[in-house]
Amino acid sequence: MTLLDFARGPALQWSLIILVTGIIWRIVGALLLSSRKDLSVARRKSGLNDGLGAIATRSLPAHTFEKRIRFQHVTGYAWHLALFVTVLFFGPHILFFESLLGFSWPALPNGIVLFSAAVALAILIALLIRRANHPVQKLISNADDYISVILCILPLLTGILAFAHIGGRYETLLAIHLLSIEALFIWFPFGKLMHSAMTFPARFQAGTSFGRKGIKA
Amino acid sequence: MNVSSPAFTEFRHSLANLAGNPQETGMSDDERLARARSTFIAKLNRRTAVDMETCIHCGMCAEACHFYIATEDERYTPAYKIDPLRRFYRREVSPLRLLYRPITRKMDLDELKEWSELVYEACTGCGRCDMMCPMGINISEGINIMREGLAAAGLVPDELNALQAEQRQSNSLFGVGAAELKAVAAELAQHGTMLPLDKESADILVLTTAVEVRLFPEAIAACAKVMEKSGADWTISTEAFEASNLGLITGDKTALRAAFKRVSAKAKEIGAATVIVPESGHAYQALRWESANALGEELAFEVLAISEYIARTIKAGSLKLKPATEIKSVTYHDPCRLGRQGGVFDEPREALQAMGLDLRETASNRRENLCCGGGCGEYAISHGAPIRQKAFELKKHELDDTQADAVVTGCNNCRINLMIGAEETGWDMPVVSLVETVASNLAE
């Protein structure tokens, strides 16, 4: 079995099993904890609208705080957007998704995808440096914060190297790229990358709990 | 009431002496830690678990905190203030706790002692960080749980401990009990304002606070004028007049429930359908939003802030106001626990506009309002004075920028803290109460 075979075969299968099992374990484990009904009389009925409203609007930048958090906002939006473009609209990625899902969608030109991958990589490196140096982030960071960012950097870096055929045989570079993604999958349920799933219930409950008091979350 | 009055000077003197008699807990260190642990476990539920799971350590919450903005001390980052709770959750409660235990350390008492300063002195529980968090995490709820754990471990600052012990032992605060309230009622009667004390039945039970009795009796008189003018059937009970609830501030749930029970029992006894909370943000949050959950049953009465009652009676036509003449323009300071934590934003503004006042909003207002810097008992903690003063400066700048004639607020604690700031800095913008402003402009 070559390194590429391993990356495409058992490594992919096991990392996906750990990813899915871990995500379900962590979400269900948190949601299964007890929760008491709020006995105070609501100012107004709150529910789906407040919850979905908070999910949709929580990270919109137009509010009083914006001038103090502009860097985080701009980099946050840019990083997530660049990541989605890179992951979802690169031709070979779409072929991979098609093999799993059975359907496909149009790809973006390689130049655009390469540019977004480079943007995502640059932002992550900048955020990593900021985390290690900004007094607030330095104080509140733990190993998870650094591991998670580094494990996001590696697939981007190895992907760019594989695309550009820099640093070795294409098959080896591709295998390393796949293995870096699988490392990310394995880490995902154990660290803060879980926020990509947990932010939805967190925002939803913020929306409903503030909503019943008549406050926009 | 102004900063040069003898009552205010005397009140500040009594604040300075609060820490003079530290309360001994009589608990061993192991017992303290065990009590904190069991409190955390009891309080960590589904909602808080979701919050604890979601923090990405972005640090944006720091940029909402008045103490961080004013000092740039990274220890005042809200996420850091609840970090022991989050680590405790991961190690003891979370779905992955068996994995975390070998690689994390147990919570210890030294850590809790260190965090007592961050949670009581460097946090007013204002909840501004709740509005900032991009994940939607309710950080102030985490602060409340931290305070409950610290209270269980006997780590409440001496000043708050002294006040709570007084409320628990003698049902009074700042030395104000039934006798002091009756004395104020007698004095107000001499000036033509009658307080209907201890009626056997009434539609509305009106609460007041020790701070009002001692420092702002004119607010009690103003409340009486509003109630009379609106034609209400109301009373104040000398047995259950205190709206302040130190249990909410310190995190002592036993004290919290005891204070609620007194009010709830009195309201039931006299058949009151409504209980009105005076100008006290934390008292409103406590009774309106926390009491039913603490008592384990829905309240048998409606809870209204005095500003809600005023706006409601203006709308109903039973309270008529005339244009204000003494001041033309005002800015309104949203008390955190009345507004951001309580949902009362529009009613005070409607009352001000009903008097024809030019309402000038501060740059941060409503749900994003800057705290006065002294809420949730912070103004009573002597060690907190330096950072409190710096946080006050932030507020002062925003208030000054409005160029209003006065700042109106609906919370006595905010009022006191703004007055302390004014005294310390020579700031001269008048700080006035909403209910007093309304009572001064009742139409004939």
Distances (CA, A) of B34 to A134, B38, B107: 36, 6, 10
CA nearest to A192 within chain B: B56
Q: Which of B135, B291, B302, B369 to mutate to test the interface with A (most CBs of A within 10 A)?
A: B135
- Domain carrying residue B118: 29-153
Local structure of B13: helix, strand or coil:
helix
Q: Summarize pLDDT for A27-43 with one digit per residue, the tens.
A: 999 999 988 899 999 99
Q: Summarize pLDDT for A11-20 with one digit per residue, the tens.
A: 999 999 999 9
Residue B316, both tokens: 């109903």
Specify whether B230 is located in the same domain as B272.
yes
Q: Say which residue, B407 or B245, is predicted with more confidence.
A: B407
Specify whether B348 is located in the same domain as B394.
yes
Specify whether B179 is located in the same domain as B310.
yes
Specify whether B144 is located in the same domain as B123.
yes
Q: Which of residues 166-205 of A touch B (CB under 8 A)?
A: 190, 192, 194-195, 198-199, 201-205
Is residue A61's pLDDT more than 80? Answer: no
Interface check A72 vs B, CB under 8 A: yes
Domain CATH code at residue B176: 1.20.1050
Judge whether B139 and B80 are in contact, CB under 8 Å: no
Distances (CA, A) of B274 to A146, B264, B338: 54, 11, 18
Q: What is the 3-state secondary structure (H, E, C) of B60-111?
A: HHHHHCHHHHHHCCHHHCHHHHCHHHHHHHHHHHCCCHHHHHHHCCCCCHHH
Beta bridge partners of B307: none
- pLDDT for the residue numbered B302: 98
CA nearest to A57 within chain B: B134
Is residue B197's pLDDT more than 80? Answer: yes
- Has residue B163 been placed in a domain? no
Specify whether B368 is located in the same domain as B388.
yes
- pLDDT for the residue numbered B251: 87
- Has residue B92 been placed in a domain? yes
Judge whether B271 and B199 are in contact, CB under 8 Å: no
Give the count of domains, chain B. Answer: 3
Specify whether B332 is located in the same domain as B270.
no
Q: Summarize pLDDT for A93-103 with one digit per residue, the tens.
A: 999 999 989 99
Alpha helices, DSSP H, located in B136-197: 139-152, 158-170, 178-190
Long-range contact pairs involving A62-69 (C-beta distance under 8 Å, separation at least 24): A63/B131, A63/B368, A64/B363, A64/B364, A64/B368, A65/B60, A65/B63, A65/B64, A65/B131, A65/B132, A65/B368, A68/B63, A68/B69, A69/B60, A69/B63, A69/B132
Q: Which of B49, B298, B343 sits opposite A33 (nearest CB)?
A: B49
Q: Which of B57, B288, B297 sits opposite A137 (nearest CB)?
A: B57
Specify whether B331 is located in the same domain as B375.
yes
Specify whether B122 is located in the same domain as B189.
no
- pLDDT for the residue numbered B22: 67
- Has residue B99 been placed in a domain? yes
The C-alpha atoms of residue B141 and residue B52 are separated, in whole angstroms, by 11
Task: Check B58 against A72: CB less than 8 A apart.
Answer: yes
Q: Which of residues 134-163 of A touch B (CB under 8 A)?
A: 134-142, 145
| Stretch A168-173: mean pLDDT | 94
Specify whether B177 is located in the same domain as B305.
yes
- Has residue B281 been placed in a domain? yes
Q: Which of residues 121-150 of B touch A (CB under 8 A)?
A: 130-138
Domain end position, chosen among B314, B333, B354: B314
What confidence category does residue B13 fall into, taking pLDDT thresholds of 50, 70 and 90?
confident
Residue B247, both tokens: 């249990």
Residue A159, both tokens: 């992907």
The C-alpha atoms of residue A100 and residue B197 are separated, in whole angstroms, by 76
- pLDDT for the residue numbered B92: 96
Sheet with B204-206: list strands edge to edge. B234-235, B204-206, B274-277, B302-305
Domain CATH code at residue B39: 1.10.1060
Judge whether A197 and A24 are in contact, CB under 8 Å: no
Sign of CA dihedral B413, B296, B83, B64: negative
Domain end position, chosen among B290, B314, B338: B314
As for the ipTM of the complex, it is 0.94
Q: Whole-prediction pTM value?
A: 0.95
Domain CATH code at residue B374: 3.40.50.1860
Judge whether B124 and B375 are in contact, CB under 8 Å: yes
- Has residue B289 been placed in a domain? yes
- Has residue B147 been placed in a domain? yes
Torsion from C-alpha of B269, B271, B274, B279, nearest 10 degrees: -40
Specify whether B305 is located in the same domain as B424.
no
- Has residue B16 been placed in a domain? no
- pLDDT for the residue numbered A62: 58
Chain A residues whose CB is inside 8 A of the B54 CB are 194-195, 198-199, 202
Instruction: Name the strand (E) or helix (H) holding B337.
Output: none
CA nearest to A42 within chain B: B289
CA atoms within 13 A on the CB side of B78: 32
- Has residue B386 been placed in a domain? yes
Specify whether B288 is located in the same domain as B307.
yes
The C-alpha atoms of residue B436 and residue A96 are separated, in whole angstroms, by 70
State the helix-helix crossing angle for A143-164 and A110-133, rounded to 10 degrees.
150
